[in-house]
Structure 1
Amino acid sequence: MNALKQWIERYQLLSLVVLTVFLVVVLPLTLDIFRLNLIGKYLCYAFVAVGLVMLWGYGGILSLGQGVFFGLGGYAMAMFLKLEASDPESTKIQSTPGIPDFMDWNQITELPWLWVPFKSLPLALIAVVLIPMALAWVVSFAMFKRRVSGVYFAIITQAVALILTVLIIGQQGYTGGVNGITDLKTMLGWDIRTDEAKYILYFVCCALLIGAIVLCRWVQTSKLGTLLLAMRDKEDRVRFSGYDVSAFQVFVFCLAAGISGIGGAMFTLQVGFMSPSFVGIVPSIEMVIYAAVGGRMSLVGAVYGTLLINAGKTAFSESFPDAWLFMMAALFIGVTMAFPMGLAGVWEQHIKPRLFKRKGAREATLESKEGSAA
């Protein structure tokens, strides 16, 4: 029994089960499809927050450009959906039928070679993960091999986010420009705009998010997770022990990028478009805030933090359209000042000890009564 209890605590199964029930049972039963679709959108951001827990919380690497990988995954999925929506019959009024409308508007007369692989759904799904991880490998390998870290690495990731945003906006004929890739309707003939499709996509998003948390928790409990913690606290000591620190840093950065790409793809499917507004510096910093509010050492806490911040943003913008930005700022500052370790820290430092204290007192009382009765 004790072994089972230790195994449950080791993998944080109880908190994961509670989160799963909340997402899969409670929310679908209590919210209408419009609100549930909003929650699905928020959960897409949670993929990035979960990746940041691994990268920042465990690896000690602060990235302020995770929106880049979220956007790349979203664009990879959007390219497939846009090509399906741009069949010759649907685009017969264009000068060049069979290509996306924004390409026709920019006098492009044939499909660019870069878009050709995205005619295939399997290749597009591979690209959702592979492209963000490939860019992450290039950036991290170049930086970590030269021992660039800390604030310098954070600034570089911001620069990457800015460069990619400018590139996407500037190449309007290939990317849709500032408007992004819009008017996405079907996936293999399945209409993703119906209420039924929104329910299915929500549950798929939940399943993938839970899977990402399980994967990350497995990494945390392995020797690799121990090394990540050791690198975060004493990087030089790990290096002097004979380990290639840069290789582990590259790995965790690529892992976070791949998870973020999956979130971007699910965002595109649930919202129906992808634009450069999700790639830049501002959304990337917001994603760091999600992880900080939830607790940068807690995978499950990162999900709750994402839901809290985005639900607050929606509620404030609906109820106080003129002052919601100030209220969001107050929420950020208040939560981080009152709870430096995030929502997960509130549970670990305040709620959990009291619960166990009461439980211990109750057990002691029962034991004393049994002893006196004997």
Structure 2
Amino acid sequence: MTATTPQTPATPATAPRFAAPPPAPPWWARLGGPAAFTAVALLALVAAPLLLEPFRLNLLAKYLCYAIVGLGIGLAWGQGGMLVIGQGVFFGLGGYAMGMYLKLHEAGGDLPDFMVWSGVERLPALWAPFASPAFSLVFAVAGPMALAGLLGTLVFRRRVRGAYFAILTQALAAATVILLVGRQGLTGGTNGLTNFFELFGQDLAADGTQRGLYLVVAVVLGVLYLGARQLLRSRFGRLLIAVRDGEDRVRFLGYDPATVKTLTFAVSAGMAGLAGALFVPVVGIISPALLGVVPSLELVVAVAVGGRFSLAGAILGAVVMGQARTTFSEQFADGWLYLQGALFIVVMTLAPRGLAGLAGTAREMWSSRRARA
């Protein structure tokens, strides 16, 4: 037997020393998180009615309606990987549902004005259910969700994805515009539905009514944002991101990606329909020009500017692009479209992940700097 040399315990001089925790990143690297965005957005939304005049407050309510659509696009595209460039269809369904109710309410049992001008003698059966405000509000959300669910079931079951799915949604938007324009006596044709004066007995032109509509839109946006965040934190949300990153792997694990994508697409469409229903009393019009291919593409561009991988970025992008469009058109009436395009190019060049990705980039730069040090 060989004797073993006993090991001596480590002396204080040779004992391992624990390194001090790294310093916290600076304040500019901690901005932009979900909690910070929620706090700043809540403060801004509460202060807006006190700081803005009625006209600007109405414009902000309009941008928030677009932000609701952008939130749905961020959920479907940024988190689910489905490039949806036909959300104007679902936005229009919700808008026309609310517009039909308002026209019937103002007609007081008679035909709406555009039907009289078009020579229609009896109210079409399609319009009759929209005399009820409850049915109109439910249809504004359930109608787009049903259409998106049907389309998703037919498309995703056949494993259509990527650019093919994007082109399909774009074709749906173009076909919807052609259908609405061609039915003058039923939909108002190119002019759409307009001349709304009352909502639930309140004058839509009154400043108090517009302020109340702004608060309703802001609350709806906040609730939907918190609900979408909670959805992403759930098991379904993790499965949705997994489908985006590796759909075939998720299928091999025993899950059905088609069901996940269809449900997400339907939720996104429901958000767009609700936004359209809120948009009509805020702006006072709904027409085919608001739900065609170009408006749908502009919403996708806005989400890309804000950051499609962040729900907060999708909302931010819709508001920023809406405000930029108003500012550029007021200051440069002849070339504001070029300035809007330049804004998109600059943001995508300097911040490929959008405005919301700037905070993440700052945190990564700080971490790499500390690692090198």
TM-score band (shorter)? 0.7 to 0.9
Match of 2:88 in 1: 67
User: Which residue type is aligned with residue 83 of structure 1?
Assistant: L
8 Å CA contact 1:291, 1:306 repeated in 2: yes
2:297 matches 1:276: no
8 Å CA contact 1:67, 1:161 repeated in 2: yes
Alignment: residue pair count = 340
Pairwise CA distance, 1:354: 5.4
2:70 to 31, 42, 49: 49
Aligned residue for 2:177, secondary structure, equals: helix
Pairwise CA distance, 1:353: 6.6
Match of 2:79 in 1: 58
Match of 1:235 in 2: 247
Match of 1:362 in 2: none
CA deviation vs aligned residue, 1:221-268 (integer Å, no higher than 9, x gap) = 001110111101110010011111101110000000000111111110
User: Which residue type is aligned with residue 239 of structure 2?
Assistant: L
Cα–Cα, structure 1 residues 29 and 188, in superposed 2: closer, same or farther, change >3 Å? closer
CA deviation vs aligned residue, 1:21-66 (integer Å, no higher than 9, x gap) = 11222x2222111011001101111011100111001100001101
1:29 to 22, 39, 50: 50
Pairwise CA distance, 1:351: 6.5
User: Which residue type is aligned with residue 240 of structure 1?
Assistant: F
8 Å CA contact 1:19, 1:300 repeated in 2: no
Pairwise CA distance, 1:15: 2.0
Match of 1:213 in 2: 225
Match of 2:195 in 1: 183
Match of 1:159 in 2: 171
Aligned residue for 1:179, secondary structure, equals: coil
Cα–Cα, structure 1 residues 350 and 114, in superposed 2: closer, same or farther, change >3 Å? same
2:38 to 13, 16, 25: 16
Match of 1:321 in 2: 333
Distance 1:212 1:63 in 2: 19
Unpaired stretches in structure 2, ≥5 consecutive residues: 1-30
Aligned residue for 1:56, secondary structure, equals: helix
Match of 2:8 in 1: none
Pairwise CA distance, 1:328: 0.9
Equivalence map 1:24-173=2 (5 Å): 24-25=46-47, 27-88=48-109, 98-173=110-185
Match of 2:297 in 1: 285
CA deviation vs aligned residue, 1:181-211 (integer Å, no higher than 9, x gap) = 0101112221122100000000100000001
Distance 2:35 2:146 in 1: 32
Distance 1:136 1:206 in 2: 25
Aligned residue for 1:146, secondary structure, equals: coil
Q: Determine which structure has more spread, i.e. the larger CA radius of gyration.
A: 2
What's the RMSD between the two structures over aligned residues?
A: 2.0
Distance 1:298 1:24 in 2: 23
CA deviation vs aligned residue, 1:105-139 (integer Å, no higher than 9, x gap) = 22211111111111111111101101111111121
Distance 1:176 1:354 in 2: 57
Structure (1/2) with the larger helix percentage: 1
Among the aligned pairs, what percent are the same residue? 45
User: Which residue type is aligned with residue 161 of structure 1?
Assistant: A
Unpaired stretches in structure 1, ≥5 consecutive residues: 1-8, 89-97, 359-374
Pairwise CA distance, 1:166: 0.3
Pairwise CA distance, 1:87: 1.4
Distance 1:187 1:310 in 2: 25
